[in-house]
């Protein structure tokens, strides 16, 4: 193995730069040339590679976003697009590729490996949604969750002052990891997550019960689910039932930006090193992750075919804590 490529794909996630930096340093320490592929799969299809040396990754560990840029590539969903990517990998002379992204990225990578006899692919989980099977945490989740907690804290001040009901919508697509952990840490009164059916009656009754025991304001953390903006409808229906003044805050892309937390920098660094080591050991079509404090390689197909469950204990304790 002489030359490896590295790319970031899907939504950017804080800590991706720490991962790129660690992979480049590990590659160079093992006499590998490292090529950065710009703009995720869009850049891979175009063969858009830039050499990455020590200078390129200097002073980047504290930066959010991704220095390689990223994309959601419509072309990669087609076999034709993936075959173009395979040709570009040949042209760039890559002996292995590190892909930092989420489950969509790994789904695409599995199809690429099935369509073409390509260089080994090693994934690194990077997604604020944290919905990738084969790792307890994805790079970016901790920063995004902390951003949501800070927002909840701020909103609690004004909710309490005005005796209002707030609905705070967090990202996470069809997974409730961000909502669950930020809801617990922010002391939310109620939670709406895609893993459980939405019940306007249940939400309303629990909030009413809180008011009866003396609460004068409440915060409901809502996971965006399949349709961002869903919290407006939920707020309207609950507000009508309770006849109570309510407001909605959609945190949106605020959660994706900003400097990575210590956890995301450390996780990004660890998995960046592990990804290069996996390639050097001859691993292929797998994802490096951390499970129970140990590094683990999971077949790429499992990372998107298997559903990562929410932490059952956290789901169990939420209702008691929010009473
Ligand atoms: N089923 C698929 N077939 C082929 N390519 C895919 C598939 N799913 C995703 N991809 C490719 O991977 C890219 C990234 O996937 P996606 O946009 O779902 O983000 P992700 O990797 O899940 O990250 P995030 O969790 O941050 O959104 C897509 O834009 C597309 O190019
Ligand atoms: O930045 P985009 O393409 O609008 O995507 C937003 C989506 O990306 C994520 O931030 C990461 O998958 C989701 O939580 C969110 O639904």
Q: How confident is the model at residue 322 (pLDDT cuts 50, 70, 90)?
A: confident
Cβ 103 under 6 angstroms from ligand 1: yes
Q: Model's pTM, two decimal places? A: 0.98
In this prediction, residue 245 carries a pLDDT of 86
Q: Into which CATH architecture does domain 142-256 fall? A: 3-Layer(aba) Sandwich (3.40)
* Nearest to 105, CA basis, from 85, 127, 86, 83: 127
228-251 pLDDT tens trace: 999 999 999 999 999 988 999 999
In this prediction, residue 40 carries a pLDDT of 98
User: Considering the chain, what is the average pLDDT of its residues?
Assistant: 97
Q: Which ligand is nearest to the CA of 172?
A: 2
CATH class of 3-140+260-305: alpha beta
* Most informative mutation of 37, 70, 105 for ligand 1 (most atoms within 8 A of CB): 105
Would you list the domain boundaries of the chain? 3-140+260-305, 142-256
Q: Give the separation between CA 284 and CA 114, rounded to whole angstroms.
A: 13
12 C-alpha to center of ligand 2: Å? 9
Q: Give the separation between CA 61 and CA 226, rounded to whole angstroms.
A: 32
Q: Give the separation between CA 267 and CA 128, rounded to whole angstroms.
A: 13
Cβ 42 under 6 angstroms from ligand 1: no
* Nearest to 6, CA basis, from 23, 28, 29: 23
Of all helices (H) and strands (E), which one includes residue 127?
A: none
Q: What is the mean pLDDT of residues 7-25?
A: 98
Active site residues: 129
125-174 pLDDT tens trace: 999 999 999 999 999 999 999 999 999 999 999 999 999 999 999 999 99
The residue whose C-alpha atom lies closest to atom 15 belonging to ligand 1 is: 104
Residue 323 has pLDDT above 90, yes or no: no
Helix, coil or strand: residue 150: helix
* Nearest to 318, CA basis, from 129, 181, 130, 152: 181
């Amino acid at each position: 193995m002489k030359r490896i490529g590295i790319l970031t794909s899907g939504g950017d996630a804080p800590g991706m730069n720490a991962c790129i930096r660690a992979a480049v340093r590990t590659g160079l320490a093992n006499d590998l040339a490292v090529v950065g592929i710009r703009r995720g799969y869009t850049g891979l299809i175009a063969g858009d590679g830039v050499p990455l040396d020590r200078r390129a990754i200097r002073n980047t560990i504290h930066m959010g976003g991704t220095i390689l840029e990223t994309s959601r590539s419509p072309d990669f969903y087609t076999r034709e697009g993936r075959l173009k990517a395979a040709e570009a990998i040949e042209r760039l002379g890559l002996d292995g590729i590190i892909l930092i992204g989420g489950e969509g990225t790994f789904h695409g990578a599995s199809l690429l490996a099935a369509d073409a006899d390509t260089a080994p692919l090693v994934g690194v989980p990077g997604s604020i949604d944290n919905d990738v099977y084969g790792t307890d945490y994805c790079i970016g989740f901790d920063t995004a969750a902390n951003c949501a907690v800070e927002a909840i804290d701020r909103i609690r001040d004004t909710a309490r002052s005005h005796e209002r009901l707030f609905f705070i919508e967090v990202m996470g697509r069809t997974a409730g990891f961000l909502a669950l952990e930020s809801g617990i840490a922010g002391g939310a009164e109620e939670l709406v997550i895609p893993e459980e059916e939405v019940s306007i009656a249940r939400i309303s009754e629990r909030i009413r019960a809180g008011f009866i025991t003396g609460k004068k304001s409440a915060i409901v953390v809502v996971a965006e689910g399949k349709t961002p903006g869903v919290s407006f409808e939920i707020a309207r229906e609950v507000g009508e039932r309770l006849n109570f003044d309510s407001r909605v805050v959609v945190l949106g892309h605020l959660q994706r930006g900003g400097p990575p937390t210590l956890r995301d920098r450390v996780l990004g660094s660890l998995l960046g090193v592990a990804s290069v080591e996996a390639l050097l050991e001859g691993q292929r079509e797998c994802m490096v992750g951390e499970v129970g404090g140990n590094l683990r390689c999971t077949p790429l197909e499992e990372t998107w075919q298997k559903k990562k469950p929410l932490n059952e204990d956290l789901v169990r304790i939420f209702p008691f804590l929010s009473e």
